[in-house]
Structure 1
Amino acid sequence: MTRPLIFLLLATLALPVLAQNTGGDAVARVNQLKAAVAPGKQIFMARQLQLSNADDAAFWPVYDAHQAGLADLAERRSRLLARHAQRLADGQVDDGDIEDLAEEMLALEADEADLLESSFARLGRTGLPVEKAVRYIQLEKDLRALRHFENGNDADYRFN
């Protein structure tokens, strides 16, 4: 169980580097995604998923719950990193603290994966066509990658 989580954290940390190393194509894709999301995430999702009236009733409650879950995860991540940054500034970080940070970051990654899985399952139970449910999960993953790409130069993961 620990190995997949470590791989997930490493893959997450590597996303900005990989995106930067793939050249112009990655930058063009990022810019296209940013432009498409610029009017707002809900508008972006509606356009991408081309929801019918029946789909709307099934999709938006799950979407709202998913966004609330993402906001909770973002808040938890922010508190964790702020606490670590404060300990770092105070010169109180040791190897145990670094290991704890890594474990807590991995737990957040696992929680986000669980959130995606549960949202997908909920969409399936609502009767939304599976193609649209899968597309929604893909879009959320793309937007997650965009967030990581944009935050690639942040000092979120400094250990010393």
Structure 2
Amino acid sequence: MTRSLIFLLVASLALPVLAQTSNAPQGDAVARVNALKAAVAPGKQIFMARQLQLSNEEDAAFWPAYDAHQAELASLEERRERLLARFQERVAAGSADAGDVEDLAEEMLALEADEADQLESTFARLVRAGLAMEKAVRYIELEKDLRALRHFQRGDDAAYVFN
């Protein structure tokens, strides 16, 4: 039940963004990415504090959950980097086969599921700790945006063709 609720909540947050980006010129998307980069430049904690505008009571509920979430994200990112490095080594050695590609896909999907589970757990922890629902949702939305930025900045994506 909780997972379904969170999925619906995150999906409802994504719909306006999808509507904006599907109708927006390419330059608007680039401007949004650049604005997000600039906003995060002073540091992620400063960015979150500015975005969430937490009261003293909310600070006490938010930052322990934030720190735990960041530690888990770092662990997931290390797993992702090891996985990709291992695969790239096999490709460079000429020993990668279809089974390796399938294994990579399965492990990457498992990482995605683990990250989604972590967001769900963090959201529940924030709500249980007494953070206002709107701010807990906003935090999840911000993490989603920053996740997209991380993946975009990784630079290992294929080139895109714009029509």
**TM-score by structure 1 length?**
0.82
Q: Is 1:37 the counterpart of 2:40 in the alignment?
A: yes
Which structure would you say has the larger RCO, counting Cα contacts within 8 Å and 6 or more residues apart? 1
CA 1:111–1:62: 2 relative to 1, 3 Å: same
Instruction: Give 1:103's match in structure 2, choosing from 101, 106, 129.
Output: 106
Instruction: Give 2:141's match in structure 1, choosing from 138, 143, 157.
Output: 138
Alpha-carbon distance, 1:148 to partner: 1.6
Cα RMSD of the aligned pairs, angstroms, is: 1.7
Structure 1 CA distance for aligned equivalents of residues 86 and 141 of structure 2: 32
Q: Which residue of 2 aligns with 1:154?
A: 156
How is 1:10-159 mapped onto 2 (pairs within 5 angstroms)?
A: 22-151=25-154, 153-154=155-156
Percent of aligned pairs sharing the same letter: 75
Alpha-carbon distance, 1:100 to partner: 0.3
1:69-91 per-position Cα deviation (integer Å, ceiling 9, x unaligned): 10000000000011001111111
Alpha-carbon distance, 1:155 to partner: 5.9
Point out where structure 1 has 5 or more consecutive residues left out of the alignment: 1-17
1:86-129 per-position Cα deviation (integer Å, ceiling 9, x unaligned): 11111111111100000000000000000000000000100000
Code of the aligned partner of 1:119: T
Report the 3-state secondary structure (helix = DSSP H, G, I; strand = E; otherwise coil) of the residue aligned with 1:70.
Answer: helix
Report the 3-state secondary structure (helix = DSSP H, G, I; strand = E; otherwise coil) of the residue aligned with 1:27.
Answer: helix
Structure 1 CA distance for aligned equivalents of residues 25 and 92 of structure 2: 35
Structure 2 CA distance for aligned equivalents of residues 89 and 119 of structure 1: 38
Alpha-carbon distance, 1:22 to partner: 4.7
Structure 2 CA distance for aligned equivalents of residues 102 and 129 of structure 1: 37
Structure 2 CA distance for aligned equivalents of residues 86 and 77 of structure 1: 14
Structure 2 CA distance for aligned equivalents of residues 86 and 145 of structure 1: 26
Structure 1 CA distance for aligned equivalents of residues 114 and 142 of structure 2: 18
Point out where structure 2 has 5 or more consecutive residues left out of the alignment: 1-20, 159-163
Code of the aligned partner of 2:152: F
